[in-house]
Structure formats: structure tokens, C-alpha cells
């Protein structure tokens, strides 16, 4: 089971680290953090409830897909030069 993703990107000479984690059923959130120079500059938190409202196939598959999508969406926004 995929528990998270980590990516390093450089945008206009600025380095960012993006970390997205699945906190699990006991704390049902997907949490992404954007770091710059070691400091958290943005946190994005999505509840399982919001993910599963979409009428998903299987709960675990929906969470896995949402984890990957959230991470990719943040990278896309950063690469476009916009801060989420």
C-alpha cells in the first residue's frame, strides 16, 4: 500500500520539497506539505470523507488514487509558478 509521495522541484531558481502522506483510518486525512528551505510554507489536508463522497469503487483504491492526484496537482501548480 502506498503511504505517500515525496518530490523535489525547482521553480524559477527556488527549490521546493513536496510531501504527501496518507495518515490512515485512525486519522483519516491525506496531508500534503510544501517545504522551502526546510520550513513548511503550505499544508493541504483532505479528509477521507471528502474523497469517498464521490461514490468510489473501492475505498482503498479511491484513497490511493486521491493521494496520487493530490500530490500531482500540487506539483502542477508549483511548476506553473503559482502557490496553492
Write the pLDDT tens digit of every residue in 20-75: 999 998 999 999 999 999 999 999 999 999 888 765 568 888 899 999 999 999 99
Global confidence as pTM: 0.88
Give the Cα separation of 25 and 31 in Å (integer): 13
Q: Can you give the three-state secondary structure of 41-71, one letter per residue?
A: EEEEEEEHHHHHCCCCCCHHHHHHHHHHHHH
Write the pLDDT tens digit of every residue in 71-81: 999 999 999 98
Amino acid at each position: 500500500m502506498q503511504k505517500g509521495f515525496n518530490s523535489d522541484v525547482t521553480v524559477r531558481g527556488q527549490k521546493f520539497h513536496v510531501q504527501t502522506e496518507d495518515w490512515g483510518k485512525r486519522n483519516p486525512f491525506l496531508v500534503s506539505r510544501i517545504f522551502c528551505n526546510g520550513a513548511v510554507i503550505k499544508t493541504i489536508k483532505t479528509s477521507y470523507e471528502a474523497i469517498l463522497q464521490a461514490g468510489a469503487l473501492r475505498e482503498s483504491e479511491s484513497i490511493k488514487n486521491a493521494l496520487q492526484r493530490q500530490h500531482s496537482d500540487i506539483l502542477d501548480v508549483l511548476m506553473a509558478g503559482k502557490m496553492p
